[in-house]
A and B are shown apart, each in its own frame.
Chain A
């Protein structure tokens, strides 16, 4: 998962063809539809890569 649009695992199926209503929330606070620490870590890794400081992300 290099970008938020990439699925974190097979449980995520958001795409423009199969949209998920929680997608935006899921990017920074996800996963929403299932619980998985490694999926959450993948999202955090995307954020950590570009976040300039601790105030960067607006939840």
Chain B
């Protein structure tokens, strides 16, 4: 029996911030003190709070240590494991707590979260099937195997579960269509081609709890009458793929996968298809084409995959998070618990990836219906550096931006759509007052334009023309009729593009025009970018009232554009300045301001 369990985050986020080195230091330190038999060390899935990684939670004491470095480990072992004393300096500290916080219930990031899909992340060893079983795993499959297919489908329909990958289509209905479709062979496909910039929900679920996804797929297969499934996962998720392979091998050994599963005469096998990272392969028909070995391009629907999917056979395709919800619904009493959470039209929870200018970057799972304000300020901790919140981009490049006046919007499928965004797969990119909304629209459109597969003209040509206009505007060459033209093109693309990605790609442009039209007009008519992003449309100047002559700006300027004596007001030469913004970041007085470009006409005047 172990006295302590040291659960160290081994997900991609914490690995990037050094958890493998912390793990190694722990291995060595435990060996040094001969604690290997008393202390269990586990590389877990993501506990969500990526901002403060690497993270270790020590059980049964339930102490959350964060921002760990290998050099912290001797003290941690000496004081906590040997001395029974909490190392206060390694606990969570921040402006949102009065004193160092010890665990989930005292850390504001976790207070409003509801762990359904992420129920096992950070709690279990994702490479140990026994632990998944202890946490109630494969009970839903056992139950489903005793049910008729339509009984399973009815429960999923009654749960109100909607697809977590983007469009929010009712999952049970999709399963019913596939069940009723005629076919000698049917497939279950998992879309793990998470492509939105800043989104990593599915990766974390696969890394932290792969069996939950497998169990969800097995139940789907039982419901529709399928004996084979594919998990389409981008190759740039190597850890997720490794853990999936391990999980499948273990499930096969335990008799949950293969022939005559648990003695019910049900057969199923998994295949993993590694994608090359094309954004368009997140679109279901393009994904299916890619599995078939064809170029990843969408095709017109109907027929929908439910009737004619992989190799022309009826196919259910859902994303990672959708499948991970299924075991919760199908286990004994699960449906009743599931429908208690969420709103009338959006049941359950949603996992979001918090990125951008937010203080607490990471992963959170919240009940549907929570407000954006609660997610961004109570969980996310507000804006980095205490700056002002400007907007949040919800739903990735297919989504839209939501401004500050909509912060009390409940987060559910219908409210977000009404606001001009979409739930999408769950990426939330937060922006502060230094973000230019015209440049933001240009960025997202440049992404979708580059990722356009080129099959349909509206997307291939339309996005290119829209991008050209946006580039002109950000370079100070905007024309008065540009906004009308952008809206006209956006409307045409939405109406006529072949696939969902094409139809939604104008959303960032439309939503920024809807909520930040004045910024576009300022760019076009006054040739001014007040956020200080579009380099042709502003100058920097140093406010003499605020400058204390500390010389930090002059020392950081890479082109020597700033001059001034120590303790005297400094000056920026706009002819030399490249507007890189280094001085702004460096100045502690916030003395460097954005101003309109002094054009020749202004000077003569």
Residues of A whose CB lies within 8 Å of any CB of B are 3-5, 14-16, 19-21, 23-25, 27-28, 46-53, 56-58
Residues of A near B141 (CB, < 8 A) are 24
Nearest CB of chain A from residue B127's CB, rounded to whole Å: 12
Query: A26 to B479, alpha carbons, bound, how many Å?
Result: 72
B260 with A19: CB separation less than 8 A: yes
Interface stretch (choices B82-90, B132-140, B175-183, B556-564): B132-140
B263 with A19: CB separation less than 8 A:
yes
A43 to chain B minimum Cβ distance, whole angstroms, is 10
Q: Which secondary structure dominates chain B's binding surface?
A: mixed
- Interface residue from A15, A49, A51 paired with B255 (Cβ < 8 Å): A15
Q: Which residues of A contact B40 (CB under 8 A)?
A: 49-50
Q: Which residue of chain A has its CB nearest to the CB of B261?
A: A19
Q: Is the CB of B263 within 8 A of A28?
A: no
Q: By the criterion CB–CB under 8 Å, are A4 and B133 in contact?
A: yes
Which 6 A-B residue pairs are closest in the complex by CB-CB distance?
Answer: A58-B136, A52-B59, A16-B255, A19-B263, A24-B142, A19-B255
Identity of the chain A residue whose Cβ is nearest the Cβ of B62 in the assembled complex: A53
Q: How far is the CA of A20 from the CA of B5 in the complex (A)?
A: 32
* CB-CB nearest in chain B for A2: B130
CB distance from B144 to the nearest CB of A (A): 11
- Are A49 and B59 within 8 A (Cβ)? no
Contacts of A58 in B (CB 8 A): 134-136
Within 8 A of A (CB), among B1-39: 1-2, 5, 7
Docked CA distance A47–B254 (Å): 17
| Whole-angstrom distance between the Cβ of A12 and the nearest chain B Cβ | 13
Residue numbers in A under 8 Å from B293 (CB-CB): none
How many angstroms between the C-alpha atoms of A56 and B57 in the bound complex? 15
Given A20-B263, A24-B141, verify A50-B255 contact (CB < 8 Å): no
| Assembled-state Cα–Cα distance A15/B253 (Å) | 8
Q: How far apart sit A4 and B258, CA to CA, in the bound complex (Å)?
A: 18
**Chain A CB within 10 A, most for which of B60, B62, B134:** B134
Contact B59 A50 (CB under 8 A): no
- Interface presence of B128 (CB below 8 A): yes
B254 touches A5 (CB 8 A): yes
Total interface residues on B, CB under 8 Å, equals 34
The answer to whether A27 and B263 touch across the interface, beta carbons within 8 angstroms, is no
16 more A-B contacts (CB under 8 A) besides A5-B253, A16-B253?
A: A4-B129, A4-B130, A4-B133, A4-B254, A16-B252, A16-B254, A19-B262, A23-B255, A28-B133, A50-B5, A50-B125, A50-B131, A52-B59, A56-B135, A57-B134, A58-B135
Tell me the complex Cα distance, A48–B128, Å: 14
**Distance in Å from the Cβ of A34 to the closest Cβ of chain B?**
17
User: Across the interface, do A27 and B133 meet the contact criterion of CB distance under 8 Å?
Assistant: yes
Q: How far is the CA of A27 from the CA of B262 in the complex (A)?
A: 13
The 11 sampled A-B contact pairs (Cβ below 8 Å) are A4-B129, A16-B258, A19-B260, A21-B262, A21-B263, A21-B264, A24-B138, A28-B134, A47-B134, A49-B2, A56-B134
CA distance A16 to B267 in the complex (A): 11
Within 8 A of A (CB), among B246-266: 252-255, 258-264
* Separation of A47 and B2 alpha carbons in the complex (Å): 11
Asked if B123 lies at the interface with its beta carbon under 8 angstroms from chain A, I say yes
Say whether B123 contacts A56, CB under 8 Å.
yes
Cβ-closest chain A residue relative to B143: A24
Residues of A within 8 A of B7 (CB): 52
Option from B59, B131, B252, B264 in Cβ contact (under 8 Å) with A53: B59
Which of chain B's residues have a CB closer than 8 A to the CB of A19?
Answer: 255, 260-263
Asked if A57 and B135 sit within 8 Å, CB to CB, the answer is: yes
Q: How would residues 560 to 600 of chain B score, 1 for a CB under 8 Å from any chain A CB and 0 otherwise?
A: 00000000000000000000000000000000000000000
Chain A contacts for B145, CB-based, 8 A: 21
Residues on the A chain within 8 Å of B128, using CB:
50
Residues in A with CB closer than 8 Å to B5 are 50, 52
List, in ascending order, chain A residues with CB within 8 A of B133's CB: 4, 24, 27-28
- Report the bound CA distance from A42 to B254 in whole Å: 18
Nearest CB of chain B from residue A58's CB, rounded to whole Å: 4
Q: In the complex, what distance in Å separates the CA atom of A43 from the CA atom of B528?
A: 70
A46/B263 in contact, CB under 8 A: no
Which residues of chain A come closer than 8 Å to B255, judged between CB atoms?
14-16, 19, 23
Tell me the minimal C-beta distance from B367 to chain A in angstroms.
20
Taking CB atoms, residues of chain A closer than 8 Å to B138 are 24
Q: Which residue of A lies closest to B40 (CB)?
A: A50
Q: How far is the CA of A53 from the CA of B135 in the complex (A)?
A: 12
Nearest chain B CB to A23's CB is how many angstroms away? Answer: 6
Min CB distance A20 to B, Å, is 6
A4: chain B residues within 8 A (beta carbon): 129-130, 133, 254
> How many whole Å from B219's CB to the nearest CB in chain A?
13
> A27–B258 contact, CB under 8 A?
no
CB of A23 within 8 A of CB of B262, answer yes
A24 to chain B: which residues have CB within 8 Å?
A: 133, 138-139, 141-142, 262
